[in-house]
Amino acid sequence: MLERTEAGRLANRWDSKTAEPMSEAELLLYRSNLLGADKRVTNYGGGNTSAKVMQKDPLTGEMVEVLWVKGSGGDVGTIKMDGFATLYMDKLNALKHLYRGVDFEDEMVGYLPHCTFNLNTRAASIDTPLHAYVPQKHVDHMHPDAIIAIAASENSRELTRQIFGDDIGWLPWKRPGYELGLWLEKFCLENPGAKGVVLESHGLFTWADTAEACYSLTIDIINQAIAWFEKTTAGKQAFGGPEHTALPATERRRIAAALMPRIRGMVSGNARMVGHFEDGEAVLEFVCSRDMEALAALGTSCPDHFLRTKIRPLVVAFDPGKPDLDATIESLMSSVEAYRDEYAAYYERCRRDDSPAIRDPNAIVYLVPGVGMITFAKDKATARISAEFYTNAINVMRGASGVSTYCGLPEQEAFDIEYWLLEEAKLSRMPKPKSLAGRIAIVTGGAGGIGSATARR
Ligand SMILES: [Zn+2]
């Protein structure tokens, strides 16, 4: 059944007493942490928040409007005050005169540091224009599963209208960047009564005049979507209904433990990988379902999702009705090789003249029918986060396929984000992995004093 009683509605956790003494910047931080604390509101590291605040210019002493917006990297749930970039609004507006059109939008990122207010060293993110050009003072951009499920439906425009009426508009898919910022501004000017907009294949924008109103609106809009899905999908089976019964928990773990070292050996050619196993309710429902293979092949939709999970997962040949672990292990190598070949073909089909070189062609996500999901990444935390992201993607497919036809992002769009030069620049700025990263150590006597101290280190 598609109904999920435990999911329920998001609670409005704004506390007026706590918020009362706060400055505008502190209110932005408070709102961001509240929103990011619930993964149904936005995925890890996904989305951003902003406020336009009047402040004294340290150079002229005059009051100027400053955009506070989540900076590059970081997560709204755990962001601290130094995670926000601060930029002069008048300079951001002046950038419009320098804009040479969508083919040159990436160069606008280079101008953002020139707009910095108060020598703030936090780099502004590529989403900055999306916040700057919405005229309202407070703007939330979130990646809620329930909204992306609408945004990734074939008829997302009609669904948005049906659920939200005139309150929330809709914009077609556009890679985040300067052009999308101008689209949002145009939308706001043409629709002064709108409270937000659904971005196709991406997420939600909401805006308001105060921090509290913006927070409450974001929560209300997501709850409206959750309620609509509950009503519309009541009594329907998710993912075409079950094809397999999930194996018992101990058996699932035994099979994962047998598969993971094998897969690790096969995919650690370029760099050592560490695995993570996940068999929560949402994952099990998906890997046991009739439509799993077909949906998995369509790939994920929200750009944040596939940057962490690759465009699609690898489905391991395993039949939980007639488990034959030896046969599965024997088939693994050819599945892994087929995945690499497909990935290389995708790269060749979509590459542009200036695309960065092909990256690790191995799958990140491995779906095992009746058992669960295994993810591999450079360290345990990244592998766990990839699993979290694919779980978000499962929730999105569950919603979209329950009310419409689910659509992944078009392949070329996905490639252009995966191999975006700005994304490549971000990767090249990442610190070099530490010498033991990706390695697994056995500490003898790990329960004793020196042994446990060694293990912790
Ligand atoms: Zn986004």
Would you state the pLDDT for residue 4? 43
- Please name each of the domains of the chain with its CATH number: 16-233 (3.40.225.10), 249-429 (3.40.225.10)
Query: 């598969």: which residue's tokens?
Result: 259
HSE-CB for 51 with a 13 A CA cutoff? 22
Q: What secondary structure letter does DSSP report for 311?
A: S
Q: How far is the CA of 202 from the centre of ligand 1 (A)?
A: 6
> What is the biggest distance separating any 2 CA atoms in the chain, rounded to whole angstroms?
76
Nearest Cα to Cα of residue 80 among 16, 25, 139 = 25
Q: How far is the CA of 358 from the centre of ligand 1 (A)?
A: 24
Q: Where are the beta strands (DSSP E) in 71-148?
A: 84-88, 138-142
146 residue type, one letter: A
Give, for all 457 residues of the chain, the pLDDT tens digit.
333 444 589 999 999 999 999 999 999 999 999 999 998 899 888 899 999 999 999 999 999 999 999 998 888 999 999 999 999 999 999 999 999 999 999 999 999 999 999 999 999 999 999 999 999 999 999 999 999 999 999 999 999 999 999 999 999 999 999 999 999 999 999 999 999 999 999 999 999 999 999 999 999 999 999 999 999 999 999 999 999 999 999 999 999 999 999 999 999 988 889 999 999 999 999 999 999 999 999 988 877 777 889 889 999 999 999 999 999 999 999 999 999 999 999 999 999 998 999 999 999 999 999 999 999 999 999 999 999 999 999 999 999 999 999 998 888 988 988 888 766 666 666 667 777 777 777 888 877 888 888 877 7
Q: How far is the CA of 391 from the centre of ligand 1 (A)?
A: 17
Nearest Cα to Cα of residue 292 among 363, 367, 218, 354 = 367
Would you state the pLDDT for residue 425? 64
Helix, strand, coil tally for the chain in percent (to 5): 50, 15, 40
Q: How far is the CA of 145 from the centre of ligand 1 (A)?
A: 12
Q: How far is the CA of 212 from the centre of ligand 1 (A)?
A: 21
Interval 121-163: pLDDT, tens: 999 999 999 999 999 999 999 999 999 999 999 999 999 999 9
Give me the interface pTM, i.e. the ipTM.
Answer: 0.99
Phi-psi region of 239 (alpha: psi -120 to 50; beta: other; left: phi over 0): left
Q: How far apart are CA 377 and CA 385, in angstroms?
A: 9
Pairing status of strand 84-88 against strand 138-142: unpaired
